[in-house]
Structure 1
């Protein structure tokens, strides 16, 4: 039968035609067309044909290569097993290196067992899961190694180490430093090379530094960002500070004493209108920055003062006083138009940069660090530190000190004034202020002179303010002993 007739025969019958069936039915297409079987017969013939074909294929497979098929299956599984073994070996070596396993002998690999899959096929496999075995071995290595290192370090510290040990087995440099403990659990004797902090119940560490933000619940404190904020503020205080010698280089009509009189008067104005301390500090900052860049006559110095307080009030206060009130406080020496004109001049000269670090934000942070050494918060310490810091506003000579340095020195002198039996500086204050006690010497000594008023200054607005009962009369306090005795060493 030719190929065309075979194709026609398959299309007509819909059933695969074998050679035997074709011989039975005949070679002509007419016979197939005329004797076309019914649907049930075709379905039955198809099932029989498939059964015969499956039996024929099975016979061929079993007769041709049972041994070869078994060999292929064994080879594939064998390769997979080898890959797993190699990976286990590599991971084991890497884990051993990461645990300082220079001196640890390799654990012998476990023998694999043969698992019978069929009657004729045996495939080598691990008895247990590879990952579970590896985890168990690593845990044994870690425990054993830590015990060995601890015993050796104790022997070395006690001086009883066996000198006959081989250097290849004991390398003192590879041992982790051990933190010794005393009978008192709150006392730490030694620390590791990495300065690992061991936490104390009060939040303190071995170095004595206490986390001052851990117990704060005020959302406005920005606890997660507090350290980053003050790092940025420490940079800004260098960038936006006034000149320290503008009286000598630029101003010819005003003197440091005139500046002091102006600020002393502004303190009284802030008390009259109940302005915040931040407003007063920002007012002084704006005055000094303006005078650092622009010449002014002494007749207009008071106008500059009230204008800067107006700007600071708008920036800091919720309800700032009106322009008319500042004109009234000057006994109408200046008109509203003059104040607004000076306001525009100051704003444009300073490029609207009012987010500047003054002493006040540093003082808040450092008082918080100073309070951790007390069982209860000391209101007297807070008032005294604020009093000493505000005394520096009047003094032109304190412009040479950074705001953070002035704030830290105020805390130092306040603590010494209240408790001269204890050293006013500790690791927590040193950590949060970034100043050592020796670095505060010049500022603290100058601040003590202001506190004792050794120069006999007649400007008493700040002193009168802090002599009130609501401020615990802190302006009347002075140190019993000179603070200079702390810096002799």
Structure 2
């Protein structure tokens, strides 16, 4: 799978000579990121919503439009930790720790752990957060996120246990009120997994390939949430970058339906893929951020992680220096 990597990289983001008759398909799509509509004949145009979805196509599109408005409304300011007591490296270590608690210890949903990070990041801006209370804030945000996203919530004593001696049940309850007041009880956010699921619906792949691409994209998105630079992206951008990079690594074509669903140009997808690749390599090289590997340790993907790493290294080497230099 990885033997033809050099040949693929040389053409990956070159404009295609294919000119689709469908005016809704972007003609500037990279040649290795798209297949012509001829290869999609007989498969049927994918529809987001209906069938196995709980929403009709129209309702699903309304939800997607709302999430795109919401993510822009809730986007953090660039470099939001500048001048604050919490440093980017400290944040990466804490987010990795939260991922370990959520995925390995509690085994909660993707939504709950993502909401925990969103709340914690906003507390760093809205509250007086420092080294002494940072973990307490994170545990409190985890408790809030679990109550918001999960059906069954662990007891507060079990949540406080993960935070050590400082995080007693009383401290968590007292901090919870402070956090909710600072956030004005506004806990609704868009998550990368929302947009990854939409892209999965447009993949037009066999069931096994769809699962592999989605699982690897989820791993990449988790790395993007950990790394400070990519965590500031819109959730839809992180999802597109993760899914497109996953398609490339696994040798799957980013077809015209996916390209249309991404709402991005070829240059934008390229930049997002480079950013996600850099984030994955940063997490991989960090000796302290190991929770991603632990989360996916039972997945077949993690067994090929070394091959994936080599693919990403070559991908970064062939990428534009101007883009690579802006990451991390």
Q: TM-score range by the shorter chain?
A: 0.7 to 0.9
Work out which of the two has the higher radius of gyration on C-alpha atoms and give 1 or 2.
1
Measured after TM superposition, the shift of residue 445 of structure 1 is 1.2
| Equivalent pairs, count | 287
The reply on whether 1:315 has 2:148 as its aligned counterpart is: yes
**1:227-272 deviation digits (Å, cap 9, x = unpaired):** 12111111110101223322114x1x22111111111111111121
Contact 1:413/1:448 (<8 A) preserved: yes
Structure 1 residue 409 displacement after superposition: 0.5
**CA offset at residue 452 of structure 1?**
3.4
State how far apart, in whole Å, the 2-side matches of 1:456 and 1:194 are.
41
Residue 403 (structure 1) aligns with? 235
Output the aligned Cα RMSD.
Answer: 3.0
Aligned to 2:165: 332
CA deviations 1:291-340 (Å, max 9, x no partner) are 12222121100000000000100011010112111112223322222111
Matched, 1:444 2:279: no
Cα contact 2:161–2:168 (8 A) shared by 1: no
TM-score by length of 2: 0.78
Equivalent of residue 69 in structure 2, options 230, 235, 254: 235
- Distance in 1 (CA, whole Å) between partners of 2:188 and 2:179 is 15
Partner of residue 89, structure 2: 257
| Residue pair 2:240, 2:272 contacting (<8 A) in 1 also | no
Deviation of 1:191 after TM superposition, in Å, equals 4.7
Write out aligned runs for 1:373-412 (5 A): 373-374=205-206, 377-412=209-244
2:257 is aligned to: 428
Q: Which residue of 2 aligns with 1:286?
A: 119
- For residues 227 and 216 of structure 2, the distance between their equivalents in structure 1, rounded to whole angstroms, comes to 18
TM-score, normalisation: structure 1: 0.53
Q: C-alpha offsets along residues 345-397 of structure 1, whole Å, 9 cap, x if unaligned?
A: 11111122112102121111112222x14475532112111000000121111
Cα distance change on mapping 1:429 and 1:189 into 2, 3 Å: closer
- Specify whether residues 243 and 224 from structure 1 end up closer, same or farther in structure 2 by C-alpha distance, changes over 3 A only: same
Q: Aligned partners of 1:482, 1:431: CA distance in 2, in Å?
A: 24
**Equivalent pair of 2:116/2:138 in contact (CA under 8 Å):** yes
Further displaced range: 278-287 or 396-405: 396-405
* Cα distance per residue 1:173-230 (max 9 Å; x no partner): xxxxxxxxxxxxxxx99859999x9995322xxxxxx32337x522424433111211
> In structure 2, do the counterparts of structure 1 residues 486 and 437 end up closer, same or farther at CA, with 3 Å as the change threshold?
farther
Residue number among 173, 176, 194 corresponding to 1:343 in the alignment: 176
Cα 1:211/1:394, change in 2 over 3 Å: same
Matched, 1:202 2:43: yes
Given the alignment, which residue of 178, 202, 213 partners 2:48?
Answer: 213
